[in-house]
Chains A and B, each alone.
Chain A
Amino acid sequence: MKRIDQIGCPRCGREDARGICYDCERWEQSNVYAGVLEKNVAVYAYNEFAKEIVAKWKYRGDFILIRAFAEAVQTTYHQHYRDVGADVAVIPLSEQRLLERGFNQSDAIIQMLGFDSHDFFTRRESEKQSKRGRRERMEAGNPFELVRGVTGPVVLVDDIYTTGMTVRHLAMLLKEAGCPAVYSFTLFR
């Protein structure tokens, strides 16, 4: 597992970039999503080894593997978000997927951080994000709904930041509801 110890892109937290990366630049040019997300912080690089671990943890369902991440996850979170004073938001799974998998990966990470998560959202439909390309994800419409009022800043917690679509869908809903700042925190980038 490769810890990200030097942040390349300050926006998405990837290591292999110098300054704001091309992906983030494109997000900021969008008239819908520009400025909805302050930044993402990730703990590990999503390399081949990480992919195998995620496959075993999330898809095979070996829940306990998450313990291997505990220390790094807690340290990284506190380094970046201790002073933000944000609520932590869990990213919902569809009912069907939750029953299949048996656990919510976002919730599992939040538990490990020792926080109470807040159900800010519900999910409308169940098609897998990971089965879609970037373009399709962009065009697919927002699968989430905000179900609760917001006053303070919020940190969205997920396992992987790939295209950044999921967190921006959620961030947009929060911003529309008047949230002052939305951040995200992921295991992998």
Chain B
Amino acid sequence: MDEELQSYITAGYVESVTSIEKRRSMFTCTRCGNDKRHLFATMPHAACGKLCVYCRNCIMMGRVIECEPLFRGSPQYPWPVVENPCAWGGELTVDQQQAADEIVSAIDHGQNELLIWAVCGAGKTEMLFPGLTAALKAGKRICLATPRTDVVRELTPRLKQAFPDVTIQALYGDSEEKTADAQLLLATTHQLYRFAYAFDVMIIDEIDAFPYHNDRSLQFASKRAAKLQASFIYLTATPRLKEKKRIKQKQLPAVFIAKRFHGHPLPVPKLKLSPWLRKELANRRLPKSILQTVQSQQLGSRQLLLFTSTIEYAQLVTDILQPFYPDITSVHAEDPEREEKVRAFRNQEHTILVTTTILERGVTFPSVDVYVLDAGHVVFDEAALVQIAGRAGRSQHDPTGDVLFFHIGKTNAMLHAQEAILRMNKRGKCQ
């Protein structure tokens, strides 16, 4: 152990804990909470000369092995009190203000949980500003976590602009910032494995999104990353059944916002039957009707966001359209140029962006139409389709946009997504 670490332990800033707890034949990884037997393995460990158990579940964050302890920082560390942290000059709508007030009150009173259920384009980020301001004024430490790297990248500059005097870091797999010692952290949910009892305010964006919503160890990590008396603020446009149930049973305080910040309704998706879609794609063609729709779309001034079910289809569709639209481009999760391409599209350097579901949520392009090819594919569940539709009409200056679902047969997901959007628009009108 190096001297620096030892001195922190002596001073009480850092404590050393058992990394893998063994109880009878059960193991639990202290870092990720994994307790599944098949996600542990043994290896002859050269450092101690014994056969040691290690955790396979969180090995991408560095191996946790039984004979080496874990170290964690002290929750007692004093964070600076920032007098006037917020430089944002914008105004909140009545709805946004209501949500913002609830967030402030949850943070001030150390309320355990609060869910903000706000439609796509309601302006969730801005709603957070008063709450963040209150927390920073009280010398609290905050983490804003999201399952999507793209969302971290999109939010970071906005928050840095709004809170210029606060230390802010963005943490995700490839990020440059590794030290994780800022007062306000933006992180992908996987990064939460690195923290224990560190945050007074834990904001989890997109709680319904893959992989957070069905990964118990990520949920474990987010709980452990927060201090015991921390406030949890959840944000979502499309809560899962689990949350809806808890709201109904009054176990989870919630604010519902049905209106977009600009007051215009959500674009309602239109379903377009295209029975030969998969067959035509197999022959490296697009059905004529779809091609014509794209061509007439391209006569207008809007950009086109084209969703496909798989990476192969994204590349194929791009190849098919390339001769007509030379500035088309495609993007997917493994694309090394992912970040640049999304930025270029936002700067209107491409008229068409073909994408997999990676851009289904959390990203804003000012003026786009949105098409989904093969909307009946399993990757497009109700939440995904609602989120995809929510990419259209996000700008005050251009609050509409066409949302078309091309399919080979209607699915429940498509119908439910359509109904959900209609229902929100109805509630939005009344609100």
Contacts and interface: CB of A to CB of B under 8 A. Distances in A.
B47 A99 contact: yes
A152 interface: no
Interface stretch (B37-45, B195-203, B285-293, B368-376): B37-45
A63 B56 CA distance: 9
Nearest to B56: A62
A64 B56 contact: yes
Contacts of A99: 46-47
Query: Taking each of B43, B46, B52, B65, which has the highest tally of chain A beta carbons within 10 Å of its own beta carbon?
Result: B46
Nearest to A60: B59
Contact of A102 (B56, B60, B63): B63
A60 B63 CA distance: 7
Contact of A103 (B43, B59, B60): B43
A64 B45 CA distance: 12
Given A60-B63, A61-B63, A103 B56 contact: no
Interface residues on B, range: 10 to 19
A61 B46 contact: no
Given A61-B54, A61-B63, A64-B56, A102 B47 contact: yes
A104 B46 contact: yes
A111 B45 CA distance: 14
B63 A103 contact: no
Output the residue of A56, A99, A102, A104 with the most chain B CB within 10 A.
A102
Interface in B15-46: 41-46
Contacts of B41: 62-64
A61 B46 CA distance: 12
Contacts of A56: 59
A98 interface: yes
B311 to A, nearest CB: 15
Contacts, number: 38
A71 B46 CA distance: 25
A104 B49 CA distance: 12
A111 B46 CA distance: 14
B54 A63 contact: yes
Nearest to B45: A102
A64 B44 CA distance: 10
B59 A102 contact: no
Given A62-B56, A63-B54, A98 B43 contact: no
Contacts of B63: 60-62, 102
Contacts of B45: 102-103
Contact of A98 (B42, B46, B60): B46
A105 to B, nearest CB: 11
A61 B47 contact: no
Contact of B59 (A61, A98, A101, A104): A61
A103 B44 contact: yes
A61 B61 CA distance: 11
A116 to B, nearest CB: 14
Interface string A125-162: 00000000000000000000000000000000000000
A53 to B, nearest CB: 13
Contacts of A104: 46
A103 B60 CA distance: 17
Interface in B48-87: 52, 54, 56, 59-60, 62-63, 65
A29 to B, nearest CB: 38
Contacts of A111: 44
Nearest to A67: B41
Contacts of B42: 64
A115 to B, nearest CB: 15
A84 B44 CA distance: 29
Interface in B378-403: none
A111 B52 CA distance: 17
A64 B53 CA distance: 11
Interface of A: 56, 60-64, 98-99, 101-104, 111
Interface of B: 41-47, 52, 54, 56, 59-60, 62-63, 65
Given A99-B46, A102-B43, 10 more contacts: A56-B59, A60-B59, A60-B60, A61-B59, A62-B56, A62-B59, A63-B43, A64-B42, A101-B46, A102-B65
21 contacts: A60-B60, A60-B62, A60-B63, A61-B54, A61-B63, A63-B41, A63-B43, A63-B54, A98-B46, A98-B47, A99-B46, A101-B46, A102-B43, A102-B45, A102-B46, A102-B47, A102-B65, A103-B43, A103-B44, A103-B45, A111-B44
